[in-house]
Amino acid sequence: MTTTASSLRGLCGGAVHLPGDPGYDTARVPWNVAVDLRPAAVAYPADVVEVVEVVRAAAAAGLRVAPQGTGHNAGPLGPLDDVVLLRTSAMTGVAVDPDRRVARAEAGALWVDVVEQAAPHGLAALHGSAPGVGVVGYSLGGGLGWYSRSLGLQTNRITAVELVTATGERVRADAGHEPDLFWALRGGGGNFGVVTALEFELFPIAHAYAGLLVWDWTHAERVLPAWVSWAADAPDEITTALRLVRLPSPGRQLVVVDGATLGDPGVLAPLRALGPSLDTFATVPAAALMRLHMDPEGPTPAVSRSALLGPLPPAALDALLAVAGPGSGSSLMVTAELRQLGGALQRPAPGAGALPFLEGDFALLNGGIPGKPEVVADAERVISAMRPWAVDREYLNLTEVAIDTSRAFEPAAWARLRAIRAAVDPGGLFVANHVI
């Protein structure tokens, strides 16, 4: 396969790495360094012109193309023997139009780039919980953040998409141009071309009331049911998450509730009545929410599993604590995380794309550092234990293993996505982590 891919050598100003090249092993590593990608070549285009060149050269060589920014959620990609990994990390331009309240981000831009440019204008984006996540992948797959219960998914706030198609053509898709493609891109992920830039809405949010509440995890049996009950009736203005965390140093085991509200801070009173040992909630600049969740800011090895859950009765909470709480013996660092859904996330967004809403009341995920054989088993054990309360949908941005992608969409939406994919990429040139 190296011989076939050698026809790409010299493109991107020489920033193409083939197996055996000195830079190949570094170039192929995704964000989750535990994922072993071995593509036929790795190309680093500097701009859209070079993207076009790589797409056309790959197609001429009989190779496929996998667009990738940061390399988050690379696990489901599978074998890449005949695939050019097209890394867009050099394309980092961001522009903010404060009058229109719109941002434009190139394919390699990170959320921290957008947040820091929007903040001086008193504007905020529907970013996620980590500064190093790429704007494009997060947005095309859905996009859950601290404003989601009041403002919905980021994908439905996209106003235009610029991409390179399977024929090497540059296309701009929006509500008035290529409307079918525009619909598919918003929720359908990277199946339809190499997205080189997005435009999306910003919101007049300069401050939020945000922070975290912390208990020793021996209090999990009273904090977890209290939070679940509170979350069921919480107003749309607040979005929170609850985590059961085992810190390797200094060996603390904690229950953490973090989140943000755009409404009345008094909504937290029932949680504060539980007597947290630490309470950092305060009015903070909106940009501070980028690091609220304290996610890792650099590439790291990880194992994770996820599910979407409906209402959680006492039996469900007992089951969760049995496999993820004190006494469970779990090897995971985050034995369980529940992200609060509902609100605007459960209402179809006006003019939405392929993912108009998310089913479920909570998103469950867990994770740990690979290396011990029990880590994968423990991660899957949590999901298995909660299966009786899972909804019949998946959220692809949190799904880091290969699944039947149709499970993320309504049947009619899935049929339409497949038809659009067949029309714009009939030869299957593009490789996405979750394939349509």
What is the rounded average pLDDT of the residues 340-350? 97
Among the residue ranges 5-14, 55-64, 296-305, 388-397, the one predicted with the least confidence is 296-305
For residues 393-405, average pLDDT: 97
What is the per-residue pLDDT across 258-268, written as a single tens digit (0 to 9) for each? 999 999 999 99
Longest pairwise C-alpha distance within the chain: 66
Strand stretches in 100-149, DSSP E: 102-106
- Give the C-alpha separation, 392 to 350, whole Å: 23
Q: Can you tell me the distance from the alpha carbon of 139 to that of 250, in angstroms, rounded to the nearest whole number?
A: 36
Residue in 152, 93, 138 with CA at minimum distance from that of residue 117: 93
Q: What is the pLDDT of residue 297?
A: 86
Name the E strands within 318-405: 334-340, 362-368
Alpha carbon distance 20, 24 (integer Å): 7
The confidence score (pLDDT) of residue 249 equals 67
Q: Answer yes or no: is pLDDT of 94 > 90.
A: yes
Rounded-to-integer distance, Cα 163 and Cα 198, Å: 9
Of 367, 390, 358, 412, which Cα lies nearest the Cα of 142? 358
Helices and strands in the chain, H and E counts: 12, 17
Res 3: pLDDT: 56
Q: Residue 338's beta-bridge partner residues? A: 242, 364
**2, pLDDT greater than 60:** no
> C-alpha angle with apex 142: 141 to 144, nearest 5 degrees?
130
> Which residue carries 């996209």 as its tokens?
158
Task: Find tokens 């493109």 and name the residue.
Answer: 11
User: Over the stretch 96-123, which tens digit does the pLDDT of each residue have?
Assistant: 999 999 999 999 999 999 999 999 999 9
Return d(Cα 291, Cα 112) in angstroms, integer.
Answer: 9
Question: Which domains occur in the chain, in start order?
Answer: 2-87 (3.30.43.10), 94-204+410-424 (3.30.465.10), 207-398 (3.40.462.20)
What is the arithmetic mean of pLDDT over 194-202? 98
- For residue 1, what pLDDT is reported? 42
Average predicted confidence (pLDDT) for the chain: 96
* Residues whose CB is less than 8 angstroms from the CB of residue 130 and which lie 6 or more positions away in sequence, other chains included: 111, 290, 293, 295, 296, 297
What pLDDT is stored for residue 251 in this prediction?
72
Proportion of the chain above pLDDT 90, given as a percent = 96
Averaged pLDDT, 228-241: 98
- Cα–Cα distances in angstroms (integers) from residue 219 to residues 232, 328, 329, 364, in the given order: 20, 14, 16, 20
